[in-house]
Amino acid sequence: MIRRTPARLLLATALLTPTFASAATLSADSTTQPTASIHDPELLQILNLALSFDADSATEAIATSHNIRVKGMADDILRDSTQLRLEVSALVASSGLVAAESTASQAQGRRSSQDLQTLRATYGSAFNHVYLQQQIDAQYALITLLDQAADLSVLRELSAKARTAAARHLLFARQLRGDLEGLEAQ
């Protein structure tokens, strides 16, 4: 479990404040391209993919990393993604909402598959760096997407919870990456 200090909480609060960036999602080649507004079924599909990636990569980190802090962060991410997946399932059951494929969800699926493949082929201290960078990239992309879709009716509350978790994971991954880089420089 990662300790949360007051400075970290202040930074987390800053991350949780919605940004007013232009609507854009990351494409498969990591460039930004403007997108049309995202609708609930498309957002649901992307959220499902993001939560699956979080759970799969966290499970891999728990099994592979030898760093207790990386394992602790992965455990937090696995717990949060599992809880959010349960909430997504309950929302789908109660609302009848059905996930829909889109260009953005297809790009998300390709990125997730490539990232998991890379992660599974990485060992030793390099594993921690790859895992942390992938989490930073994934959480930032999810926050950006959720900021675009903040006004959606059915997924509003769930999107807010997912954004809060993603911001917390992004903060922890950035701090941990900095700590690991600092230790290796000594």
Distance CA 78, CA 6 (A): 24
Cα–Cα distances (Å) from 51 to 18, 48, 96, in that order, read 21, 5, 20
Q: Which CATH class is domain 37-185?
A: mainly alpha
pLDDT at 1: 40
- pLDDT digit string, tens, across residues 88-127: 999 999 988 899 999 989 999 999 999 999 999 999 889 9
For the chain, give every domain's residue range.
37-185
C-beta neighbour count of 182 within 10 angstroms: 9
pTM of the full predicted structure?
A: 0.77
> What's the gap between Cα 40 and its chain centre?
18
Q: Which of 113, 133, 142 is nearest to 70 (CA)?
A: 133
Q: What is the DSSP string of 98-160?
A: -----HHHHHHHHHHHHHHHHHHT--THHHHHHHHHHHHHHHHHHHHHHHHTTT-STTHHHHH
Residue 60: CA atoms inside 13 Å, Cβ hemisphere, count? Answer: 23
- pLDDT digit string, tens, across residues 65-92: 999 999 999 999 999 999 999 999 999 9
Which tokens go with 93?
């059951």
Average pLDDT of every residue of the chain = 81
10 versus 133: the higher-pLDDT residue is: 133
**Least confident stretch, 19-23, 37-41, 57-61:** 19-23
pLDDT at 39: 83
Q: Band of the pLDDT at 154, cuts 50, 70, 90?
A: confident
